[in-house]
Amino acid sequence: MPYPTDRERDRPWVIRTYAGHSSAEKTNELYRNNLSKGQTGLSVAFDLPTQTGYDPDDELAKGEVGKVGVPVSHIGDMRTLFDGIPMAEANTSMTINAPAMWLLALYVAVAEEQAEQSGLDYSEVRAKLAGTTQNDIVKEYLSRGTYVFPPAPSLRLITDMVAWSVTEIPKWNPINICSYHLQEAGATPTQELAYALSTAIAVLDSVRDSGQVPEEKFGDVVGRISFFVNAGLRFVEEMCKMRALGRLWDEITRERYGVENPKQRRLRYGVQVNSLGLTEAQPENNVQRIVLEMLAVTLSKDARARAVQLPAWNEALGLPRPWDQQWALRMQQVLAYETDLLEYEDLFEGSVVVEAKVSELVEGARAEIDRVQEMGGAVAAVESGYMKGELVSSLAEYRREMEAGTRVVVGVNSYETTEPSPLQAEGAGAIFTVDPETERAAIASIQQWRADRDADAVESALSALRDAAKTDGNLMQVSIDAAKAGVTTGEWAGALREVFGEFRAPTGVSAAAATGEAATEIGTVRDRVRATGDELGERLRLLVGKPGLDGHSNGAEQVAVRARDVGFEVIYQGIRLTPTQIVSAAVQEGVHAVGLSVLSGSHLEVVPAVVQGLKDQGAGDVPVVVGGIIPPEDEKHLRENGVAAVFTPKDYQLTDMMDELVTLIRTANGLS
């Protein structure tokens, strides 16, 4: 920004890969390697304990440490993560939400250390820090599940971060309004636009009403709001969606907030294309999916992403290897540097077809934004369950279309004949696996960290944090002080849990019902469920559980909806449960089967714990089934250890899954 107005090439977007695993040391090595290959920005993936405010030795962290990202438990980890990477010169995106303030505090504290070591004034370094904290808690309640605190204090943390950042680190984007996960949770383009913009309105209203930013500086706040979006395969519609988002954002910031400067009203967004849309079946098809989705957010100059990160072709199988990530990086580089895309003005200006679609999306989004505002805004629409229910219903409809074949997914429900893939010839070697020693090393490391630090300084910092949280004062600087004192991620979040409490978001499962083509098949299975219940003398009960910290609950919710539709009594308590809690609920409710959903790679730790727990409670005959991203070798191991069935993304027919579940229940109960 601003774009050239002649025929000179537009500057490329920031090229990133979303990365992090095992430990800060190994991730630092990965980052240096990626930067040497031409990556121009860093995108930090944190592990689930870090994302949800737990230390590696917490009970809920078992099996999750270092799996989907890097554990950052204290300032020492952040130092290691950016060792040899000048933070004043980096452009860093951090996908972090509930503890976003804490990770930004650690980042700033380490940047100040780097400044001191280089003989620079720390205020100069602060002024140069560039990057983004995702920090969008609303979509966490709706889709991704890494929330910690209730909506009101969560919004307070966001407000404090935005107000502090605008003054102290003016090049930083303190929030990334994130519609990415809304699409993965089922949002239509209209819902994606409306709910993302409703979140932006809630944040801007909160910052304005807090009084922390002078009225004349509010344009600076608007100018630092960025977006992070999803690009699906309907790439013409996706491109139009981005043009619609730009039009709506300009309208809202001008009319609602009175921002006159067009540069401050300009839409700034980054993108990752649809990871959950990648398929386990014929995964080589994911390469063309990724490229086509990338085109959706790069073809249109007037609505072009300013940062792009792409998943790897094999993410539906497990964690990608460095080579897989390199392939995704090269896709961007070929488009940016070999093609003539960046040499032209907008390709779609004046298109009647594009304008009609953009107008349709704008009008639909305006109507849904108005509906949310009438409810009291985004936070109220979360607390009431309205937005979650709408997303679950949309995703249920999508799945019904896929099951009926009216929505084609190549290699999954159509064109399924295939040759053996040489890309998977290595078997388990075709994906990256995290060494089990990683968790043990992280636990030993944090215990040593606690033993070596100044305990009095830590307690003083935590006391100051708790005291400040009870006032309406800004919590950013007191968090930086806590970081420098050696406070851990779990301690920072724990102190705020004491003051703010915790929250369990509505699941939305009650919102969806079976309709359309799938209704006949559902009726057949419903008859089996009813007949089996009659033979057992009670209604069949299924517990759907999300063990560990994996908050991607879309699959579990759809299983719960379909199970209810075929006649099961469904017990679904939402995300973030220990194996002990799941076992207790299963025994207390007297369920006939347990279904576990795990997408984070922790299945080999948390699933056997549930199976053993049921045996210990005298319920070992209750069949346990598992769904998630589970490699074939792990599936074999789970079955050998008592799991009755394993379902992966290739098993998209939910009604068939329910039918198999009935068969397992009949077998377990000695019925023919």
Residue 610, pLDDT score: 93
Residue 508, pLDDT score: 60
Only one residue has tokens 């303030």, namely 101
Cα–Cα dist 579/568, whole Å: 22
Cα–Cα dist 229/124, whole Å: 32
Name the residue among 290, 272, 558, 233 with its Cα closest to residue 409. 233
Residue 17, pLDDT score: 79
Report DSSP state, residue 13.
P
* Domain coordinates in residue numbering, the chain: 14-404, 520-669
Looking at the annotation, which residues are catalytic?
A: 18, 180-181, 546, 550, 552
Same fold, 14-404 and 520-669: no
The CATH H-level (homologous superfamily) assignment of domain 520-669 is: Cobalamin-binding domain (3.40.50.280)
Name the residue among 108, 650, 202, 59 with its Cα closest to residue 412. 650
Cα–Cα dist 273/241, whole Å: 14
Cα–Cα dist 669/215, whole Å: 69
- Beta-ladder partners of 270: 228, 307
Residue 611, pLDDT score: 93
Residue 396, pLDDT score: 86
Indicate the SS3 state at residue 306: coil
Rounded to two decimals, the pTM is 0.86
Q: Is 263 exposed, middle or buried (0-12, 13-18, 19+ CB in 10 A)?
A: exposed
The DSSP string of 544-599 is EE-BTT----HHHHHHHHHHHHTT-EEEE--S-B-HHHHHHHHHHHT-SEEEEEE-
Residue 316, pLDDT score: 83
Name the residue among 163, 170, 175 with its Cα closest to residue 132. 175
Residue 427, pLDDT score: 63
Cα–Cα dist 638/625, whole Å: 10
Inter-residue contact 141 to 392 (CB < 8 Å):
no
Mean pLDDT by 10 residues, the chain (672 residues): 52 84 91 88 91 93 89 97 92 93 97 90 88 92 87 94 94 93 91 96 95 93 94 92 96 95 93 87 93 94 91 85 90 95 93 96 97 94 90 87 89 89 72 80 96 96 97 96 97 96 71 54 89 94 89 83 91 85 93 90 87 93 91 89 90 90 94 85
Inter-residue contact 114 to 528 (CB < 8 Å):
no
Strand order in the sheet with 175-178: 14-16, 307-309, 269-273, 225-231, 175-178
Inter-residue contact 47 to 71 (CB < 8 Å):
yes
Q: What is the CATH number of domain 14-404?
A: 3.20.20.240
Indicate the SS3 state at residue 14: strand
Cα–Cα dist 173/166, whole Å: 9
